[in-house]
Amino acid sequence: MDDKNLIRVMIVDDHAVVRSGLAAFLTVFDDLKLVQEAGSGREAVEKCQQIEVDVVLMDLMMPDMDGAEATKIIRSKTPNTQILVLTSFKQEELVHKALQAGAIGYLLKNVSADELAQAIRAAHAGRPTLAPEAAAALIHAATKPSEPHFDLTPRELEVLSLLVQGLNNPAIAKQLVISRSTVKFHVSSILSKLEAASRTEAVALAVQHNLVP
């Protein structure tokens, strides 16, 4: 096949044995050509600016610069280069971080050779590919209930923080240099906004939703 019709691939992984295995895999497919390797995200960013790369197989967990940060920089500097994440991790936050950085696909390292080749071709054509586990993580994130917003004022958050510390109204008044009646007003407002029946329930909700340090 003419070189100009080949998909130019870069392998980025901090483990030499992984890079070696992927390099061997690429030789099986006539339309894929390994043009560069990198052992870190920073090295990948540098090499992507030195040589034309169509698709980068990007590991996520690497020293010096992780795969998501490298993806973001590469996509900003060479937008025609597509990034296909190839990792052992399927945590929801990692999938989000990679896709937000500009990756077009997210695959796990247990993928078959044919599936990886198809994903590389899809990435080159601008089509996304997600491992079932990555797709499930995105669906879970989209369907889980959002954290409630209680709209507490800065002063109410101060009072709530002191409630969490176990202070009573007189102690809170002394701490904040305000009257006891003002403290009572703030506590009443906090209970109303949190829909809490008692100070104890308000404290439990504050801890549960990380409302105060």
Distance from C-alpha of 49 to C-alpha of 106, rounded to nearest angstrom: 23
Distance from C-alpha of 198 to C-alpha of 212, rounded to nearest angstrom: 18
Q: What is the pLDDT of residue 92?
A: 85
Q: What is the tens place of the pLDDT at every residue in 110-132?
A: 999 999 999 999 999 999 999 99
Q: Which H or E element spans position 84?
A: strand 82-87
Q: What is the pLDDT of residue 125?
A: 96
Q: What is the pLDDT of residue 70?
A: 97
CATH assignment of 3-143, among 3.40.50.2300, 3.40.50.720, 1.10.220.150, 1.20.1250.20: 3.40.50.2300
pLDDT classification of 146: cutoffs 50, 70, 90: low
Q: Which amino acid is at 130?
A: L
CB-side neighbour CA atoms (13 Å) of 165: 14
Q: What is the tens place of the pLDDT at every residue in 172-201?
A: 999 999 999 999 999 999 999 998 888 999
Q: Which sequence spans correspond to the domains of the chain? A: 3-143, 154-208
pTM (2 decimals)?
Answer: 0.68
Q: What is the tens place of the pLDDT at every residue in 19-51?
A: 999 999 999 999 999 999 999 999 999 999 999
CATH code of domain 154-208: 1.10.10.10
Q: In this structure, which long-range contacts are made by residues 25-33, counting pairs with CB atoms below 8 Å and at least 24 apart in sequence?
A: 25/113, 25/116, 28/113, 29/117, 30/1, 31/1, 31/5, 31/6, 31/7, 31/121, 32/6, 32/7, 32/117, 32/120, 33/3, 33/6, 33/7, 33/8, 33/9
At residue 152, the 3 state secondary structure works out as: coil
Q: Quick one: what percent of the chain has pLDDT higher than 90?
A: 79
CB 58 within 8 A of CB 70: yes
